Structure 1
Amino acid sequence: MTTKELYEELNYVNHSREKRLHYANLIIDNPDLIPKLLEILFMVNDKVSPRAAWVFEFMCGENLETIIPYLDVFTENIHKIHLDSAVRPVAKICEYLAKAYYSKTDNRIKHVLLSKHKKKIIEACFDYMINDEKIAPKAYSMNTLFLFGKDYDWVRPELILILERDFQMQSSGFKARAKHILKKLKNKKT
C-alpha cells in the first residue's frame, strides 16, 4: 500500500473504537506501513493527520514496541502537532512511553528510550500544559511529566508551578487530576 492509498484508507477512520482498532491491527500486521502512517500524522495541517494519530495511538496501545524503530521520528516531530484531535492521541502515546519506561516489569522500551527522546517528550508535554489544550492532553502530560520527573530534577518543580498557577482557571477534570498529581508530588511518593 502506498502512502497515498493509506491516506485514502484513513478517511474511513472515525471515533469508533472498532474502526481505530481495525486500522491499528492493519498497521501492526503490515509494519512497512508505519513510516507512511507517521508521514501522514506529521502532515500537521491536514484533516487526515488526526486520523493517523488515532490509529497510531491504538497501534501503540495494542503493541507499544512497534514504535521502537520510529522513536527518533516520533519524538523529533511531536512538537509540530497542533490540531486538538491529534494532540490528544500524541499526548497519550507519550504517557504510554513514560509508563512503560518506569514499569516494574522489564520491557524493551526501558532499553531504547534514550535521554534525547525523553527530553523531546518532556518539552512537548510542557507545551501541552501551558498551551490552550483540552483536559485530556493536559492530564496525560501531567502524568508523563510526573514520571519523567524521577530522572530530571527540574521537571517536578516546574510541574508544581504550572499546576498551582492554572488550578483555579481550569475545568473540574483538570482540578481532579492536578490534585492527585500535586498530592503525589508533595508527599514525594515515586
Structure 2
Amino acid sequence: MDSELYKNIANSTAHRASREQNADFILNNPELFSDFLKLAFDTNDKNHHKACWILELVLEEKIHFLTPFLNQFCNKITNYTNESALRSISKICLFLAKHISLSKIQDQKIIEACFDWLIIENGKVATKAYSIRALFEFGKKSDWIYPELQRILSEDYVKHSAAYKAVAREVLKKIK
C-alpha cells in the first residue's frame, strides 16, 4: 500500500473533516482504490475501521468503484467485528441494495449479514438501522424478507432505543 496513504489513514480521526480529506484523496487518485480497499478488508490491521469510515464516504460518491470487488466485499463482510467498521460496512450494504445490481449469491451474502447484524444481542443501533433499511430494499426483490423482517422488528421493538424504534416504525409502515 502507498505509505503516504496508509500514514494518512492511520492518523485520521472520526471527525467528518478528517474522513472527508482522506476520501477526497482516494476520489482524486482512483488508482489507489484497490490498495486502499485491501486495508479496509484486512480486519487484522488495527486501522481497518478507519479505512472503512473513509470507504463509506468514497462509495457514497462513487459506488461503482466497488463493482470489480463485489465478490471480495461480499465474502469479507462477515469478518467484521469492530462496531466502528460495522457501521460503515452496513451503510455500504445499503448503498449496494439501492444502487447496484448484484448476483443472487451477492444478494444472499449481504442479506444474511444484515440479518445477523440485526439480531446480534449487543450490536449498535446505527449498524442495525442500516441493516434494516438495506433489508427493506432487498425485500423489494425477495418476497421472503419482509415477513422475516417484520417478525424480528416486532419482537425486538421493546428491547431497543428510541432511535431503533423510529427506524423500525418507519420500515414497518412501508412494509404494510
* Common topology (TM > 0.5): yes
In the alignment, is the contact (CA less than 8 A) between 1:146 and 1:156 conserved in 2? yes
Alpha-carbon deviations, 1:79-113, whole Å to 9, x = none?
1111010000001111111122xxxxxxxx34xx2
Which ranges of structure 2 fall in alignment gaps of 5 or more residues? none
**Counterpart of 1:47?**
46
Matched, 1:123 2:129: no
Deviation at 1:163, TM superposition (A): 0.5
Scaled by the length of structure 2, the TM-score of the pair is: 0.92
Partner SS state of residue 77, structure 1: helix
**Counterpart of 1:82?**
81
Matched, 1:59 2:74: no
Within-5 A mapping of 1:133-172: 133-172=123-162
Alpha-carbon deviations, 1:38-78, whole Å to 9, x = none?
22112214330110001100100121111111111111111
In the alignment, is the contact (CA less than 8 A) between 1:27 and 1:34 conserved in 2? yes
Aligned partner (choices 148, 158, 170) of residue 180 of structure 1: 170
Scaled by the length of structure 1, the TM-score of the pair is: 0.86
Distance across 2 between alignment mates of 1:5 and 1:29:
14
Question: What's the RMSD between the two structures over aligned residues?
Answer: 1.5
Deviation at 1:122, TM superposition (A): 0.5
**Counterpart of 1:31?**
30
In the alignment, is the contact (CA less than 8 A) between 1:6 and 1:36 conserved in 2? no
Distance across 1 between alignment mates of 2:36 and 2:71:
15
Figure out how many residues of one structure are paired with residues of the other and give that number: 175
Deviation at 1:18, TM superposition (A): 1.6
Deviation at 1:125, TM superposition (A): 0.6
The percentage of aligned residue pairs carrying the same residue is 40
Distance across 2 between alignment mates of 1:142 and 1:94:
11
Distance across 2 between alignment mates of 1:13 and 1:64:
22
Partner SS state of residue 174, structure 1: helix
Which ranges of structure 1 fall in alignment gaps of 5 or more residues? 101-108
Deviation at 1:3, TM superposition (A): 4.9
